[in-house]
């Protein structure tokens, strides 16, 4: 094979790099514009009936979910309880393998009533992080758990990867702690509970895990993932228990989001921001607001 002149290769790489960045930025801008349109539509359109959030003809319509079967040896599962639950019900392939990004987008949209814009954005982000093409690529659920790619330290339902390499299973100690943390009516979960519990988890991880790391994007993902518990699940502890302990969708359950276009990024990000900005662990003790500071005061 004849070697190409360095200048030709460098030029081709620069053009290719620039064009993919431009395309990816254009896609993000397009998805954000679409999302804003859907958010405005949701403001005026009537809500869906609470027992008919899942569209007719889709698994889970009127709360009739396909049979739950716990994962078998060799099945692929992720750090995300909601995606695992879909595979456990056969809404995604039960073995959790060879799922196209586009299939993931469609099924998440129908199952949990996130807006289509949100689903495309998240799955496109995941495809990019895994160096795959959103339109043609596939994933196994465990691919989502690549550490510090999409999965991160200090989460609410999994021990850090440094302590537990298989992120496909929940850590019951953490889940039970979260389930006992609700201060809303009937012990339901509130955004303030999430901020408090994430604070606790992040400081615990920082203390115990010598490999702890968390960048700004991961912080926001961590708050976003957790915020699904107070939006899609409405903070209802009984439903959250079933989802987090068994990774099962409760019988008769429907998303608490009743907007016809689903939960948009614009709306969801307000909750995620509320949760993230309420996390005291990120503040130095000198501010007097962190749990560390409170502990020192009480000593
Ligand atoms: C479709 C795309 C989705 C992707 C790629 C995704 C990805 C993830 C990842 C990587 C985590 C693990 C965080 C960690 O432990 O390090 C996670 C956790 C989580 N996800 Fe998802 N997820 C998706 C959809 C959803 C949906 C639709 C829901 C809810 C209806 C949801 C709810 C959660 C919850 C509650 C957690 C646990 C948060 C924690 O442990 O701190 N996810 N997700």
Q: What is the pLDDT of residues 266-295, one digit of tens each?
A: 999 999 999 999 999 878 887 877 665 545
C-alpha gyration radius of the chain? 21
Query: Computed from CA positions of residues 82, 212, 198, 218, in that sequence, does the dihedral angle turn out positive or negative?
Result: negative
Q: Whose CA is nearest to atom 34 of ligand 1?
A: 225
CA of 8 to the centre of ligand 1 (A): 43
Q: Is the pLDDT of residue 250 over 50?
A: yes
What's the DSSP call for residue 285? G
Query: Token pair of 128, please?
Result: 């990019």
Query: Computed from CA positions of residues 90, 69, 52, 46, in that sequence, does the dihedral angle turn out positive or negative?
Result: negative
Predicted pLDDT at 297: 47
Predicted pLDDT at 293: 52
Confidence of residue 252 (pLDDT cuts 50, 70, 90): very high
Q: Is the pLDDT of residue 127 over 90?
A: yes
pTM (global) more than 0.85: yes
Confidence of residue 24 (pLDDT cuts 50, 70, 90): confident
CA of 205 to the centre of ligand 1 (A): 19
Predicted pLDDT at 289: 76
Distance CA 39, CA 89 (A): 30
Atom of ligand 1 nearest to the CA of 150: 10
Confidence of residue 151 (pLDDT cuts 50, 70, 90): very high
What would the CATH number be for the domain defined by 6-298?
Answer: 1.10.489.10
> How long a stretch of residues is the chain?
299
Q: Is the pLDDT of residue 217 over 70?
A: yes
Which residues sit with their C-beta closer than 6 Å to ligand 1?
A: 79-83, 104, 108, 112, 114, 122-123, 126, 144, 150-152, 155-158, 222, 225-226, 228-229, 232
Residue range 23-44: mean pLDDT, rounded: 95
- In this structure, of 15-24, 132-141, 180-189, 223-232, the range with the lowest mean pLDDT score is 15-24
> What whole-number percentage of the chain has pLDDT above 90?
89
How is the chain split into domains, by residue range? 6-298
Q: Is the pLDDT of residue 32 over 90?
A: yes
Predicted pLDDT at 292: 55
pLDDT digits (tens, 9 = 90+) for 201-215: 999 999 999 999 999
Predicted pLDDT at 77: 98
Query: Token pair of 1, please?
Result: 């094979």
Predicted pLDDT at 291: 63
Query: Token pair of 274, please?
Result: 């509320």
Q: Whose CA is nearest to atom 18 of ligand 1?
A: 80
Average pLDDT taken over every residue of the chain: 94
With the most atoms of ligand 1 within 8 angstroms of its CB, the residue from 80, 123, 150, 262 to mutate is: 80
CA of 128 to the centre of ligand 1 (A): 17
Q: Is the pLDDT of residue 299 over 50?
A: no
């Amino acid at each position: 094979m004849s070697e190409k002149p360095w200048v030709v290769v460098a030029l081709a790489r620069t053009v290719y790099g620039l064009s993919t960045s431009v395309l990816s930025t254009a896609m993000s801008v397009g998805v954000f514009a679409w999302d804003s349109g859907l958010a405005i539509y949701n403001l005026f359109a009537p809500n869906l009936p609470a027992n008919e959030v899942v569209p007719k003809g889709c698994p889970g319509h009127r709360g009739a979910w396909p049979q739950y079967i716990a994962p078998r040896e060799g099945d692929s599962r992720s750090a995300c309880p909601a995606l695992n639950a879909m595979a456990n019900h056969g809404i995604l392939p039960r073995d959790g393998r060879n799922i196209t990004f586009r299939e993931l987008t469609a099924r998440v949209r129908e199952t949990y009533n996130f807006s289509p814009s949100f689903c495309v954005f998240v799955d496109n982000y995941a495809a990019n992080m895994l160096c795959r093409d959103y339109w043609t690529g596939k994933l196994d659920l465990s691919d989502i758990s690549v550490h510090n790619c999409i999965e991160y330290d200090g989460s609410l339902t999994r021990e850090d990867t440094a302590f537990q390499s298989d992120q496909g299973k929940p850590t019951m100690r953490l889940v039970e702690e979260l389930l006992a943390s609700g201060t809303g009516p009937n012990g339901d979960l509130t955004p303030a509970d999430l901020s408090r519990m994430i604070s606790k988890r992040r400081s615990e991880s920082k203390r115990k895990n010598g490999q702890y790391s968390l960048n700004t994007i991961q912080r926001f993902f961590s708050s976003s993932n957790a915020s699904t518990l107070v939006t899609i699940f409405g903070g209802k502890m009984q439903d959250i228990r079933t989802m987090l302990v068994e990774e099962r969708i409760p019988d008769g359950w429907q998303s608490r989001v009743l907007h016809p276009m689903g939960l948009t990024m614009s709306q969801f990000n307000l909750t995620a921001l509320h949760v993230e900005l309420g996390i005291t662990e990120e503040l130095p003790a000198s501010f007097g607001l962190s749990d560390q500071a409170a502990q020192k005061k009480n000593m």
